[in-house]
Amino acid sequence: MPIFVFLYVLYLLCYLESIDEYSVVIIINHIVYTLKTFAFEINTNFLNALFNKNVLFTVTFSIAYLMAIFTTISTAFGFVKNYIRNKYRINRLRTKGCDIVIGYNEAAHIYLNKHKDKTIVWLNNDVNPNLIKDLNNSKIAYIISEINESNLIGFLKKKVRYNFIAFNYEQEQYQNLINTFINIQSKDYYIFLYLEVKFNEAEVVRNEYLKRKDSDESNLFIRTFSRYELISRKFVSEVTIPYYLPQDFYNENRTIKEDYKINVFF
């Protein structure tokens, strides 16, 4: 942006030097001229006169033009670099098997940042450019395309396990996903589809899967889960009642003293 403003001012000075008048149309035209400079195109209609009169202006404009070229090349190189790096990450992960998070939300964000070395995020075509920038900076592999049969078959490698994970999907989206994966009828693909559901939707997903699964000629396995249930189970298994008991409740052999009572409320 600073280089753009600098070049725009230089173009405007050249114009005012040759023609002592201005209007809104002229201002807009010179914005276009400035933008074209970043595409290696210089408008010389007004530049030549001032070039011949003022050496300092010539040097200044030349430096600004070189900076514009450098900005364009470095930006293009950045896009190419990110594209190549992302392709490398995808190919490395898909060759040995990986997790694929479908869509992007808060839960997906947490999972991706914890497991970025073994996870790809699959995004729709209408993805936010700022999200792509964040994924590149975080070194998280991503695919931008519709999740359909042809794209899935183009991605999957035979005899390799893939875990597809969908967080916070609605019931209609579950059905579409299940239909898409069921239509890939091949024993060569090992697909595990994990769907986060509400407590009353697990049976709906199961019935939809059984209803549409026409044969056993596929290695597709669908599982449902609830983050809140998983958190609860982890809490119960790790934070047990003895964890909260003071030391004076215990005998030397770590049994509870008989004169102490424990009241547990759920």
pTM of the predicted model over 0.95: no
pLDDT range class, residue 120, cuts 50, 70, 90: very high
59-77 pLDDT, tens digit each: 777 777 777 777 777 776 6
Q: Tell me what pLDDT residue 13 has.
A: 65
CATH topology for 97-241? Rossmann fold (3.40.50)
Nearest to residue 264, comparing CAs of 247, 242, 237? 242
Nearest to residue 228, comparing CAs of 194, 188, 199? 199
Average pLDDT over residues 118-131: 90
Q: Residue 223 is which amino acid?
A: R
Q: Locate the domains of the chain by residue range.
A: 2-78, 97-241
4-18 pLDDT, tens digit each: 666 666 666 666 666
Distance CA 186, CA 189 (A): 6
Q: Tell me what pLDDT residue 249 has.
A: 75
Strand order in the sheet with 161-166: 141-144, 119-123, 98-102, 161-166, 190-196, 219-225
161-214 pLDDT, tens digit each: 999 998 876 655 777 787 888 888 677 888 888 888 766 555 666 665 555 555
